[in-house]
Structure 1
């Protein structure tokens, strides 16, 4: 039986027992290229490829605190038109037996006809009905670390996972490393950000010290924030579906039985999964949504169609091939193991 949008909504309800409400919306792809204005501000051609969604003010020089996305952006790829934030992740590649690489395309969630796949974005208030403080202008953060190659390292970030999709509705069996078998409907990467803030810093040098996970328990169980980070913030969550199905033929996989996918930052394990965020909602729109029990849809917010969001793009600034069959990852990024050894 083909899943329906109604069954998706029902599945979401099961995903979030006790949740007061959540925003869930589509953001089309804005651009895919080697830019990273958080870690490498002002640098054109950062070390690895990212795929970016959100407002069209995205550029290489989004330096804190000068950037003001709501005043600089003229459109957004997201269906909530007042969300001019930028969200980005790395890009997944397939490595063929002959050593060449091919970028894995993204596909949208069911009911979201986002251009080039994009992402599904969630903002979830507290699960115990406590008030959450929406992000402030100038806020930015990173979760995950692209240098990680072991489960012990990745365990620092509690909820960066993968789902091997049996179908578009699969939401069980999450793993911290990339799936080791062909996935019938693709691989979904799940990126959940910390939900506690120090209440002072909009950003820090490492882009992550100003936020933290609950002191005990989880966000979903209503775990308390640590004293160092006492302010509850919404849980920001990305779902990105990678269309690995064109590469599911076992005859194309490595002869040693390992899985063939590698991240654009040279990670064949998946433990370096990470995501970046720069806040850009207009005015107090996000705080209103968090305060007024918006659930999936939010009439309090200004919306646009997915088709309108699909029209918002920016021109690439790094002139290189990222989509053909490549002899190496863009930027000559080496693929490395846990010891730092270059594998290929």
Structure 2
């Protein structure tokens, strides 16, 4: 574990220019990152969980659709808990093994990124081609799991088995509402991002997932998987009747070959829109490890 302080439809690509044969995707690929990250520096802790070398992939969603095989209708990439799937329970997750250091049994997962001019092994399978997600799955180059403190107060430990989602997998059909939190970037343009697919050239393409960090103090889940943990207000304070917990940020990097088209998996009706990017998390850290992380985050206060 590393402790740090941090500011926390068809297309052809020619060089860095996007040439489209249809108009539906014309505005989904950009070379400019038009949004700026502006946030205070806070203590943070990085937990090493690898890059899914074992290729733990499935079309399940143990947070949103537990008990329903292929319930995601698109393929997810996992790090952490090696057993996570539709059948997962608190007991099964706690009894599993993990790719993370210090026996962090948590599960962290997000939709796969595909090179859409290739062929994936699931071209005729649920979550893959049967749900409109075609192409070669691109393995991440890097995955960073970072927990950050609050800029205004100490944080409480996350409760074990807390379940979270960030981003809106239905952002396209819902008109890019308030749950849309897709953040795409390039490694050579730190502090800048876009909700569209970035053309990063030889730089690493980044996907960043920030999770809510203001807990209701009682529940490890809710019907929407959102109302029990919400996002902090401007300035970092939590809304009334919520309590700050470590803020999870997952950053995934890819070496996207220049000149090749790419897209994330999505529900078929979402048309693989980049704004539908999202991620899920189940906290299965041993309580002693969560206490250690929380202590680091509060220690510099």
Q: Same fold (TM over 0.5)?
A: yes
1:216-270 Cα shifts (integer Å, max 9, x gaps): 31xxx4x221124x2111110000012212xx12xx5xxxxxxx32211154331
The equivalent position to 2:209 in structure 1, one of 191, 194, 202, is 191
**1:34 match:** 59
Flag the structure with higher strand content.
Answer: 2
Conservation of the 8 A alpha-carbon contact between 2:118 and 2:135: no
Displacement after TM superposition at 1:204 (Å): 0.7
| Equivalences for residues 10-89 of structure 1 within 5 A | 13=5, 15-16=7-8, 19-28=41-50, 29=52, 31-46=56-71, 47-63=73-89, 66-67=90-91, 69-70=93-94, 72-73=95-96, 75-79=97-101, 81-89=102-110
**1:173 match:** 192
Distance 1:13 1:281, change over 3 A: closer
CA distance in 2, matches of 1:100, 1:233: 38
**2:14 match:** none
Conservation of the 8 A alpha-carbon contact between 2:5 and 2:42: no
The equivalent position to 1:140 in structure 2, one of 144, 153, 163, is 163
CA distance in 1, matches of 2:61, 2:171: 18
| Equivalences for residues 132-281 of structure 1 within 5 A | 132-149=155-172, 153=176, 155-157=178-180, 159-166=181-188, 170-179=189-198, 181-214=199-232, 216-217=233-234, 221=235, 223-228=236-241, 230-245=242-257, 248-249=258-259, 252=260, 260-265=261-266, 266=268, 267-281=271-285
Distance 1:288 1:186, change over 3 A: closer
CA distance in 2, matches of 1:284, 1:23: 15
TM-score by length of 1: 0.64
1:39-90 Cα shifts (integer Å, max 9, x gaps): 2212223311000111234232124xx53633x12x32112x2311111000
| C-alpha RMSD over aligned residues | 2.8
Equivalenced residues, count: 247
**2:291 match:** 287
**1:3 match:** none
Answering whether residue 135 of structure 2 is matched by residue 101 of structure 1, we say yes
Matched residue SS, 2:91 = coil
Displacement after TM superposition at 1:149 (Å): 1.9
Distance 1:202 1:283, change over 3 A: same
**1:329 match:** none
Moved more, 263-272 or 198-207: 263-272
1:165-213 Cα shifts (integer Å, max 9, x gaps): 33xxx4232112221x343223110000011111111101221111111
**2:17 match:** none
CA distance in 1, matches of 2:5, 2:187: 19
CA distance in 2, matches of 1:13, 1:105: 28
Conservation of the 8 A alpha-carbon contact between 1:19 and 1:126: no
Unpaired runs of at least 5, structure 2: 9-38, 120-132
